[in-house]
């Protein structure tokens, strides 16, 4: 199993590290445009192999796509991150051009590749990859919901004063400060609805903290987060590589599901060796449906800024 990660910055390197530590891939190619940068990150990571006990070979290259040839899965993290006070949507001007070029280069050398889009604004970048590459829709997956759901579980566990392993929950909708839809009604602690333990106000607070999870970290760090994003991407890569048929909310092209068409937005999917094995439709109540539609309006407004 060969995996390419484009962008050897914070998220790309973290993602490569988690993939290696999980030890399911034979090779990870890390590619960056900055001369020597990916080579340096790859060498540093390889020097952790004997300490962390993995056999995955990590190779770094500077903008040489021939080294990515035959990749089964490629992750696109190239582009700029936001600074405190910015929205993800403000990154579109620079990142759209980068994501378009990178996805085209990847496909030239790996025609059967499954692409995972991470660069922000992620839902719109995923849409752009669909429109510019024409790849079958099962092979283009945007990563956002897996991360947002991990943050939701963190906030739920905090509110419940429970271990995170007791908690389950999912975030659907757009990967933006206002567009996320944390499914508080369906969240559970050991299969018991969390509403049995938390007041409506506390649950609303959990949802709001989840939605601004990325912005909160950006304010603290001066740039956006990388550990949880890297771990989330590595989980998606593993689900595909190991044909796990696991469910994650991901940004995928919809064709009528959830009443939406011609948009990439976060919904639950089953991930396996073919990429998207299935889009899962869950029963939402009227309030949740309205939030999803509102989220879609936001994503479409950003899509409208694309020149495709």
Ligand X SMILES: O=C(O)C[C@H](O)C(=O)O
Ligand Y SMILES: NC(=O)c1ccc[n+]([C@@H]2O[C@H](COP(=O)([O-])OP(=O)(O)OC[C@H]3O[C@@H](n4cnc5c(N)ncnc54)[C@H](O)[C@@H]3O)[C@@H](O)[C@H]2O)c1
88 is in an annotated binding site: yes
Nearer CB in complex with ligand X: 67/175 = 175
Return the closest-CA partner of residue 147 out of 81, 230, 232. Answer: 232
Applying CB under 6 A, the span of 23-31, 52-60, 69-77, 222-230 interacting with ligand X comes to 222-230
Q: How far is the CB of 225 from ligand X (least distance, A)?
A: 4
Return the closest-CA partner of residue 198 out of 186, 206, 190. Answer: 206
224 is in an annotated binding site: no
Residue 218 contact partner, candidates ligand X, ligand Y, none, CB within 5 to 8 A by sort of partner:
ligand X
303 is in an annotated binding site: no
Binding to ligand Y (CB under 6 A) within 156-195 occurs at 175
Rounded to the nearest 10 degrees, what angle do helices 145-160 and 227-241 cross at? 120
Among 9, 173, 213, 266, contact with ligand Y (rule: CB under 6 A): 9
Q: If you search the block for the tokens 């997956």, which residue do you land on?
A: 141
- Selecting among 41, 139, 175, 189, the annotated active-site residue is 175
Strands (E), the chain: 2-6, 27-32, 57-62, 73-76, 114-117, 140-142, 167-168, 171-173, 180-182, 188-189, 192-193, 246-255, 261-272, 275-279
Among 2, 41, 82, 153, contact with ligand X (rule: CB under 6 A): 82
Q: How far is the CB of 299 from ligand X (least distance, A)?
A: 14
Using rule CB under 6 A, residue 120 touches ligand Y: yes
Return the closest-CA partner of residue 209 out of 198, 196, 193. Answer: 198
6 is in an annotated binding site: no
Applying CB under 6 A, the span of 142-150, 155-163, 164-172, 294-302 interacting with ligand Y comes to 142-150
Question: Which residues on neighbouring strands pair with residue 265, listed in sequence order?
Answer: 252
Name the strand (E) or helix (H) holding 153: helix 145-160
Using rule CB under 6 A, residue 78 touches ligand X: no
What is the CB neighbour count within 10 angstroms for residue 96? Answer: 21
Return the closest-CA partner of residue 4 out of 109, 91, 97. Answer: 109
280 is in an annotated binding site: no
The pairing of beta strand 114-117 with beta strand 73-76: parallel
What is the CB neighbour count within 10 angstroms for residue 185? Answer: 14
Cα gap 218→212, rounded to integer Å: 10
Nearer CB in complex with ligand X: 147/157 = 147
Q: Is 130 among the catalytic positions? A: no
Binding to ligand X (CB under 6 A) within 163-192 occurs at 175
Q: How far is the CB of 190 from ligand X (least distance, A)?
A: 28
11 is in an annotated binding site: yes
Q: How far is the CB of 283 from ligand Y (least distance, A)?
A: 26
Tell me if 99 sits within 8 A of 92, measured CB to CB: no
What is the CB neighbour count within 10 angstroms for residue 296? Answer: 22
Q: What positions carry a catalytic annotation? A: 175
Which residue ranges make up the annotated binding site?
7-12, 32, 82, 88, 95, 118-120, 151
Residues of the shown chain interacting with ligand Y in the complex, contacts defined by CB under 6 A: 6-12, 31-34, 37, 77-82, 91, 95, 98, 101-102, 118-120, 122, 143-144, 147, 175, 223-226, 229
Residues of the binding site for NAD(+): 7-12, 32, 95, 118-120
């Amino acid at each position: 199993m060969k995996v390419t990660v484009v962008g050897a910055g914070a998220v790309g390197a973290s993602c490569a590290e988690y993939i290696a530590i999980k030890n399911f891939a034979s090779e990870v190619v890390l590619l960056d445009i900055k001369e020597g940068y990916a080579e340096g990150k790859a060498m540093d990571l390889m020097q952790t192999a004997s300490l962390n006990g993995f056999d995955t070979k990590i190779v770094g290259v500077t903008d040489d796509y021939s080294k990515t040839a035959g990749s089964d899965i490629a992750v696109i993290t190239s582009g700029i991150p936001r600074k405190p006070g910015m929205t993800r949507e403000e990154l579109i001007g620079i990142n759209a051009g980068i994501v378009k070029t990178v996805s085209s280069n990847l496909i030239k050398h790996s025609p059967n590749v499954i692409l995972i889009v991470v660069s922000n604004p992620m839902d719109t970048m995923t849409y752009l990859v669909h429109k510019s590459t024409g790849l079958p829709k099962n092979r283009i997956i945007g990563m956002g919901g897996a991360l947002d759901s991990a943050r939701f579980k963190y906030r739920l566990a905090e509110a419940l004063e429970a271990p995170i392993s007791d908690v389950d929950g999912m975030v659907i909708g757009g990967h933006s400060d206002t567009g996320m839809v944390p499914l508080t009604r369906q969240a559970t602690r050991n299969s018991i609805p969390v509403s049995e333990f938390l007041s409506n106000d506390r649950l609303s607070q959990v949802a709001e903290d989840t939605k601004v999870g990325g912005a909160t970290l950006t304010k603290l760090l001066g740039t956006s987060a990388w550990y949880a994003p890297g771990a989330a991407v590595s989980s998606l890569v593993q689900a595909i590589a190991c044909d796990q048929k696991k469910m994650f909310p991901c940004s995928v092209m919809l064709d009528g599901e959830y009443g939406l068409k011609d948009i990439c937005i976060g919904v639950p999917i089953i991930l396996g060796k073919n990429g998207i094995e299935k889009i899962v439709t869950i029963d939402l109540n009227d309030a949740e449906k309205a939030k999803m539609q509102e989220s879609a309006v936001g994503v479409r407004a950003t899509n409208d800024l694309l020149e495709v």
